[in-house]
């Protein structure tokens, strides 16, 4: 981060809400509903990530992800246009730096869906603005059922690996600012909305 940009961001009332959770925890669906909330309509915006994987059925360029080739992704990393990145199941994912910092300077809220390593990096980089939220399933058995229920969308070979990663992710949830259990969708959504609105009032 350039020195001339760090001071305005440090004083900004903007916030970065980093949402993490195992695959199948419901974090993406919860965030989608949160973004449609009337109270947050003009304040909270989801950052669209770069990814090198192919688009899945129903996904659109620029709405769900920016789908790029591996070469372009590496170029953006060299040019420091990616704030944080990870490799997951053979594909690269990265957060656009310019998008996030511009929203912070405007005093807006940005939502990121990241893994635990990405969440830690954002928290270190923006300690005054980053708010980390972990979405946990009711149990590992419930998570297993959810992932198996996605069978048509999730490659069978990925299921075992995702379940293996979930245990470690749940252990790391203890380091988050907030942790909520998605055992009832409406209640989890209300709790998530309450967390974000608290920062709107107190920011």
Q: Which two tokens stand for residue 4?
A: 């001339």
Tell me which CATH code domain 13-202 carries.
3.40.50.300
Query: The pTM is what?
Result: 0.80
Show the tokens assigned to 45: 């915006």
Does residue 153 carry a pLDDT above 60? no
Average pLDDT over residues 120-126: 94
Half-sphere exposure of 43 (CA within 13 A, CB side): 19
Residue spans of the domains in the chain: they are: 13-202
Residue 2 has pLDDT above 50, yes or no: no
Instruction: Say if residue 7's pLDDT is above 90.
Output: no
């Amino acid at each position: 981060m350039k020195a001339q940009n760090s001071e305005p961001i440090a004083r900004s009332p903007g916030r970065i809400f980093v949402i993490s959770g195992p695959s199948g925890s419901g974090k993406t669906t919860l965030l989608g509903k949160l973004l449609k909330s009337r109270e947050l309509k003009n304040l909270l915006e989801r950052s669209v990530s770069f990814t090198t994987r192919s688009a899945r059925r129903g996904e659109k360029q620029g709405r769900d992800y920016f789908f790029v080739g591996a070469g372009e992704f590496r170029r953006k990393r060299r040019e420091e246009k990616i704030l944080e990145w990870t490799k997951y199941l053979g594909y690269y994912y990265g957060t656009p730096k310019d998008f996030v910092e511009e929203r912070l300077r405007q005093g807006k809220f940005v939502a990121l869906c990241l893994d635990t390593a990405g969440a830690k990096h954002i928290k270190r980089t923006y300690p005054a603005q980053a708010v980390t939220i972990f979405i946990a399933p009711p149990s590992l058995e419930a998570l297993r059922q959810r992932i198996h229920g996605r069978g048509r969308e999730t490659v069978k070979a990925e299921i075992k690996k995702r379940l293996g990663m979930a245990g470690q992710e749940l252990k790391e949830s203890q380091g988050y600012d907030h942790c909520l259990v998605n055992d009832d969708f409406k209640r989890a959504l209300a709790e998530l909305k309450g967390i974000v609105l608290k920062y709107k009032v107190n920011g």
